[in-house]
Amino acid sequence: MERHEITAMPRFWGDKPYHSLDYALKQQFGEKVYKLTLNAGCTCPNRDGTLGTRGCLFCSEGGSGEFAADPALSITRQIEESKALLAAKRPVQKYIAYFQAYTNTYGPIRRLEEVFTEAASHPEIAALSIATRPDCLGPGVLTLLARLKRIKPLWIELGLQTIHGETAAFVRRGYELPCYTRAVEELESLGIPVITHVILGLPGESLQQMLETVSFVNALPVSGIKLQLLHILKHTDLADYYERHPFPLFTLETYVQAVISCLEICRPDMVIHRLTGDGPKDLLVAPLWSSSKRHVLNTIHQTLRQRNTWQGRLWKG
């Protein structure tokens, strides 16, 4: 997951024409590694009244952590229960402790240190992945992350979503773009890889604007990117807005084209952590075709091969 000099432009990384997370993890750890989605019990400044009380426009009550474990359980218990669910499907020896729900560096430093150290100390946890906001990385948090990095590899996932100020304000992101770039630079100075979340299909954004966001991320010392299809989920302000003001959504065909366009301009060393997403089916309002994640991914893979294209094909270097 560390950044490295780009010396070549490969057309295949393993069996795929893009630098997949699965490929990167096998290169780093020598075997397949699975994520365990854990819950640190954090909240968010966009929900506790610091910046707002309703979260981002698209955010669900679970803070994007609908698949996370029960925060009432200890981290060790969460790990063991999540392991048991995976073990029933496949043999696994190494895991990533993925802290996903809400903002996982937002809280008392002592509490955060206890939670993350407990995960990092587990013998089967190979690395930590911590999702947070760039405005929740104060000096104390950065010092803690630097200490954790000496225990186990870790990377930080930052929710950028878009570089466009009008869209960011509409979705109530709650911070300005320089805050994101400063966080990337500070994490880079500590040698901590950054993964950036980008949402494709936000209301009012053109494909060109989405590509501008990807290009912006591409030019920064960012190790990986998550391309997330906009989901409209029940019980969100976005669902209420969509009901009153329907806006165009991606079809499967147009989404596949958008993803491929993003991949073509990405640096060859940029690790692709996600190409779509699968919101809980009982909460999904639209687009309904996205509920079949395997079909979406298979369509992307097939189309890449049919068009004989790959990640970085249009990268300018």
Query: What CATH number has the domain bearing residue 200?
Result: 3.20.20.70
Asked if residue 77 is part of any domain, the answer here is yes
Mean pLDDT of 135-163: 97
Asked if residue 61 is part of any domain, the answer here is yes
Q: Which of 171, 191, 178 is nearest to 134 (CA)?
A: 178
Rounded CA separation 276/230 (Å): 9
Asked if residue 314 is part of any domain, the answer here is no
Q: Give the pLDDT score at 277.
A: 85
The model's pTM: 0.93
Asked if residue 285 is part of any domain, the answer here is yes
Q: Does residue 10 have a pLDDT over 70? A: no
Exposure b/e, 293-310, CB count within 10 A at least 16 = b: eeebbebbbeebeeeebb
**CB 131, CB 159: distance < 8 Å:** yes
Count H helices, E strands: the chain? 10, 9
Q: Which of 97, 104, 124, 103 is nearest to 36 (CA)?
A: 97
Asked if residue 6 is part of any domain, the answer here is no
Asked if residue 3 is part of any domain, the answer here is no
Asked if residue 155 is part of any domain, the answer here is yes
* CA dihedral of 32, 224, 288, 16, whole degrees rounded to 10: -50
Domain hosting residue 283, numbered range: 21-306
Residue 20: beta bridge partners? Answer: 272
Q: Does residue 159 have a pLDDT over 70? A: yes
Asked if residue 4 is part of any domain, the answer here is no
**CB 267, CB 315: distance < 8 Å:** yes
- DSSP SS3 for 4: coil
Per-residue pLDDT tens over the stretch 87-102: 777 778 899 999 998 9
Count of the separate structural domains present in the chain? 1
Q: Does residue 228 have a pLDDT over 60? A: yes
DSSP secondary structure letter of residue 134: G
Q: Does residue 63 have a pLDDT over 60? A: no
Q: Does residue 200 have a pLDDT over 50? A: yes
**CB 118, CB 92: distance < 8 Å:** no
What integer best gives the mean pLDDT of the chain?
93
